[in-house]
Structure 1
């Protein structure tokens, strides 16, 4: 089965052309979307017959229009936006209320007094005066703002702005030719399977599409190891559905791995952040495969207890006690989890009591199996101040040790510690750290490094694990680490990353972009939504320099469900005091913000669109925060389509070439805060926060305090995080003697390894951006380039670029790829963590 073409342009920058011209028209349409054909692709398309060219062109244009949001018809409430938006929102509201309460059929209009002008509109049946309300401007009922029948006589032709083709296009993304789609899909799937950074939900869905497109051969080319647990769960669920249960014990090392697979099979989240909506029955073959896998696991009881409640529910699907003779280990573990009373007078009770006898982690009390877990032993040791004992336990699980590293060190070195506190705990941590770092994933190392070196102070931000609950903030009162402890821990962590990088193929030259210092290294992408420009949460980018920015929101509602989303912008002063808003309650805020009008329904096929224009020069406040609310409490995951973003100086209502960011509305969230803009520094911080809420009538006015808390906390929450600049410098220092750095002003400077300079010293010089001589000429011989803007010709290099533009490269890298290649050696990675 051929893979879907829609997956290839975005992921690979390539297009399939497989049949037999009029390519100029297609090329022109692509240019208006910001995409440029390579010479190879142009030649292949020119050889197609017209029928095939039309088919390929339509599918390609549909995919790329979807990328920027141009696939939807954007019709705001006020079709002549921004010119026709009322200057006084209160007066506009009062007129609507008067018309709603006092207007009567066959009577003069209560607002203007004219007769014969009041008629109902369909389907809401509100009485609307054709004189008071301009049917050439409104696209919905003026009273309730719900979409009305397109054939309703109230609606009249409008001189709505239409996007005009630009004569000059300066910003483009290059599309190349994909000669073998099957091989390209396999290469992409294999790269996704090898990644060591958790993927976002939309990427896992793409992986399933790729596996299904390659069926039945997909299972035969799976790698020996799949590093990321969520990715592994997707693959194993696919294998079980296709009768390959033998893959489960090969790839699932813990009971939690199996739970992730069960969640995936039941349509839930493999990250275990939200339960499946309902439990799905499994076939007998699947149940046997799962129980057989669990039965052979050495830490089964403890692993089940880590997720006690989910496993209690899964027991109702797996029926482990019915198979106690065949899988006694699994049956005993579930008895411990469920607190099953074991009756020695029954065969079942006798068998499990005999198996429990002598088990080091189990005891029988009151006829029930009780367990003492690893986590409880660690927590008890920490609570009693026995840090050295806790470290000894954690040393057997290096991943747990690294995740707790900052807490362990700060607890051991806390001033005013209790006299009985084990003062050797901090030293014990540093003693085992050198061995532990060799056995954990690079994302864990990067996260630990950021936590250890971040000094206390400011505000701590605790984000919901599932991304759909209320967050909380608190002052950062953690103890300060002694400088020598921080430096020692940093040296061990960075030293391990340099050691791993040194084991990779050497580079003739590395090319780095200084702007990478604004981008947070992606230690995890679980919460990331599908976006045109993929930024790790906490990253900063310049605000477009144009005078006008236009935020946009589009959505469609499922049949039978009314969905009212609201696009809002909150404004705050330099101390994060609320300074105003622009939303459905205030359509204009001075001369700086203009709202296109509040649409309260979005039936297919038109859906609904809302816009907010921002005149950056006319806003006296400092911070600007756009927010999307689900007013009537419908989660985004129920939408057939929903997306938002912003444009820079658009021509017309919606200009694909002006789109600078577009992201999907997805998941169980009902509020999304995509970014925080600082108008003084002309930067924006990508927050990508999806939050949940209960109730009806969500808006900025009720949530201003919460939004301010998020914005204020984001600065300190990401202050010490490891950046993509640092990761790129580690690669360059360990693998190359010649490094070229592009400064923010576009100038190039050259760093060469000094005689006797080791990787750690060279990396420190690069990270600090020490003075270096200018570099003249093109950076020929570059093997690895890590850039913000991929606007250089580097046909032989491996390149990561935040903005690919006209990039031609031997291989394009995701930011996560730069971390994935720093994985531990297979023998070291086998340790349980």
Structure 2
């Protein structure tokens, strides 16, 4: 139950209290004020309503609740661990790189034991005594740094008063389950926890991975399953086996109980129409393995389910829509391909660019697209709208990002589309999207929210503090920018390296700060740590006013050891401070963003910092991973790939809140309700206001 409470606090910034009993006057108020003071030390505070409600609780209850709330927000901001730094005075007194290495080598040669480990032909830094491991305690670090000077610009995140835990959990459950955007892996885990806790179920679950998680609970309860394709059944079987419902990684299926086998085969039999069998070859091997566990031959009454496994084994042909469309396009029969695709509106719109480039009759293709737009999902419409608004200007390259955040680029060799063709397609999409949007009533939009990208997919985004979708832009305040990484290895020595790649306005003239170059005129590195048995933290300071490069790209490289999702813990974030503020290397109230690192790549590119023509700095959210090498990744080796990937993201015109806000204003009426869109909900909104923040922005994506 405590985990669920922490989940609600972290995801909703609401403290679930509900109708808890009140206590004696005074004692609860004192405990509430003490809690608020403790929260301020990590950059949080209680709203007036929360503080008032806490003051009416028994004092002991406030103390117990406060301990849980404080633990939840400290973990959210990354203050649940001790962030030591290799150089105790960082950012002061960091030595020159070569001077530091030479000093370590000199000490090693003067020590007979250490000298025996130094090979004459090569210099291994890891063999030098003192390299890569803390030489002082955390208490020593605290003693070496003055207290942080609090300033008005420090982050203060407001915690709101929540309803009962049951009500708050249900609201979060329905929000995640009803999202039109594919969820992150963390969201699927949260959804599984909430589905086991909440008695009610949402009426509509549009994303199939989310549906698979809910089906796990329905299967366990013996209830009818929510399936309409054969792949839905495969996802469910993977989920109940503890595998991957996204079907990205193979699953080792467990043995199913007879009632489970019957339920799965019955659901499969209901949806295994001939047209649906074409989905089977896409996951042929997993179907074969599942057939070995379900024993379909024992259930002759489910004959259509048996056909699924016949297709998987190659005993039955099931030509799919894609193969027939490709055959038509290869033969130059674009009209036939369009006619086939009209049976699958979403597929037609996803192929629209290709159809317009290959067909001789763009008018006919656009007519079909207009018909398809009426029934395709809202997310497909928005994705196509973003795609089309980038087709008239030449792009530095085409960027592709898979569901695990791994990105790559290729040259853009596509023929250009005519402006009038793009204009007509955009007008069709705008009209259909507007039709589906709700009436906002009186619309209020926080200007800082306008450049937040619409969350068309949540898969690459690990939840955390201050997180925004890929392509979002947000302002960077403060004179000092400090980003950090913390990791703790699970089983073997693990060495992560924090680095910064700095580029000019044309994405060239590269400069870097890393373990091979501790600093320059405006940036400094905290020192290289090569072992994280008890956790390790690295930092890079950027003095923004002195920066001679307008593009700064933080990177985390796996030099050796465990991948991001194998480590016991791994997270990245950044802080901003003013020049007069002192403090420890890590100060929670100055943290603006923090989230876990994960993904299949060996190089992480969470975001990029950009200086505009007005001199102001902004952060562009990337959420990218590079494949990298199995070991020894460093910033010098990924410079070209990183530069091209970041440029492709930065120069892309992402679909942002600004676009939806314009359509909503066009649709707004004189009705008596209010819609607010902002980074956070301010006090004093009218009762009944519909509020959209980054945590709930996915709810604004039309169905």
Query: Hey, what's the Cα distance between the residues in 2 that align with 1:688 and 1:2?
Result: 30
**Partner residue in 2 for 1:591:** 521
Indicate the larger mover: 724-733 or 690-699.
Answer: 690-699
CA contact (8 A) 1:105 1:127 kept: no
- Are 1:443 and 2:379 counterparts? yes
**Partner residue in 1 for 2:247:** 272
Choose the corresponding residue for 1:312, options 264, 268, 288: 288
Alignment of 1:526-537 (within 5 A): 526-537=459-470
Q: How far did 1:238 drift?
A: 2.9
Alignment of 1:246-265 (within 5 A): 246-248=223-225, 251-265=226-240
CA contact (8 A) 2:147 2:583 kept: yes
**Partner residue in 1 for 2:143:** 159
- Are 1:289 and 2:289 counterparts? no
Indicate the larger mover: 298-307 or 702-711.
Answer: 298-307
CA contact (8 A) 2:404 2:460 kept: yes
Query: Hey, what's the Cα distance between the residues in 2 that align with 1:107 and 1:712?
Result: 47
Query: Hey, what's the Cα distance between the residues in 1 that align with 2:657 and 2:427?
Result: 18
Alignment of 1:201-216 (within 5 A): 201-214=185-198
CA contact (8 A) 1:633 1:694 kept: no
- Are 1:376 and 2:329 counterparts? no
Unaligned runs of 5+ in 2: 119-124
Q: TM-score with structure 2 length normalisation? A: 0.89
- Are 1:223 and 2:188 counterparts? no
Query: Hey, what's the Cα distance between the residues in 2 that align with 1:665 and 1:429?
Result: 43
Q: How far did 1:56 drift?
A: 0.8
Choose the corresponding residue for 1:38, options 47, 54, 57: 47
Q: CA distance change for structure 1 residues 792 and 476 in 2, over 3 Å: closer, same or farther? A: farther
CA contact (8 A) 2:399 2:645 kept: no
Secondary structure in 2 matching 1:463: strand
Alignment of 1:97-116 (within 5 A): 97-100=105-108, 103-105=111-113
Give CA-to-partner distance per residue, 1:749-779, whole Å, 9 cap, x none. xxxxxxxxxxxxxxxxxxxxxxxxxxxxxxx
Secondary structure in 2 matching 1:433: helix
Alignment of 1:341-380 (within 5 A): 368-380=315-327
**Partner residue in 2 for 1:785:** 676
Query: Hey, what's the Cα distance between the residues in 1 that align with 2:330 and 2:566?
Result: 45
Give CA-to-partner distance per residue, 1:502-536, whole Å, 9 cap, x none. xx3561x2123444442221111122111312311
Q: How far did 1:38 drift?
A: 2.5
Query: Hey, what's the Cα distance between the residues in 2 that align with 1:166 and 1:95?
Result: 38
Q: How far did 1:549 drift?
A: 0.6
Q: TM-score with structure 1 length normalisation? A: 0.76
Q: How far did 1:15 drift?
A: 1.3
**Partner residue in 2 for 1:133:** none
- Are 1:675 and 2:607 counterparts? yes
Query: Hey, what's the Cα distance between the residues in 2 that align with 1:647 and 1:506?
Result: 35
Choose the corresponding residue for 1:487, options 403, 407, 423: 423
Q: How far did 1:431 drift?
A: 1.9
Choose the corresponding residue for 1:77, options 83, 86, 92: 86
CA contact (8 A) 1:467 1:691 kept: no
- Are 1:391 and 2:338 counterparts? yes
Choose the corresponding residue for 1:620, options 531, 535, 548: 548
Give CA-to-partner distance per residue, 1:402-424, whole Å, 9 cap, x none. 11122212222xxxxxxxxxx23
**Partner residue in 2 for 1:767:** none
Q: How far did 1:252 drift?
A: 0.9
Query: Hey, what's the Cα distance between the residues in 2 that align with 1:433 and 1:167?
Result: 55
Unaligned runs of 5+ in 1: 111-123, 129-141, 340-367, 413-422, 739-780, 803-812, 824-833
**Partner residue in 2 for 1:686:** 621
CA contact (8 A) 1:27 1:37 kept: yes
- Are 1:463 and 2:440 counterparts? no
- Are 1:303 and 2:279 counterparts? yes
Choose the corresponding residue for 1:404, options 336, 351, 367: 351
Query: Hey, what's the Cα distance between the residues in 1 that align with 2:373 and 2:328?
Result: 22
Q: How far did 1:189 drift?
A: 1.1
Q: CA distance change for structure 1 residues 400 and 126 in 2, over 3 Å: closer, same or farther? A: closer
Q: CA distance change for structure 1 residues 162 and 338 in 2, over 3 Å: closer, same or farther? A: farther
- Are 1:798 and 2:690 counterparts? yes
Q: CA distance change for structure 1 residues 660 and 327 in 2, over 3 Å: closer, same or farther? A: same
**Partner residue in 1 for 2:700:** 818
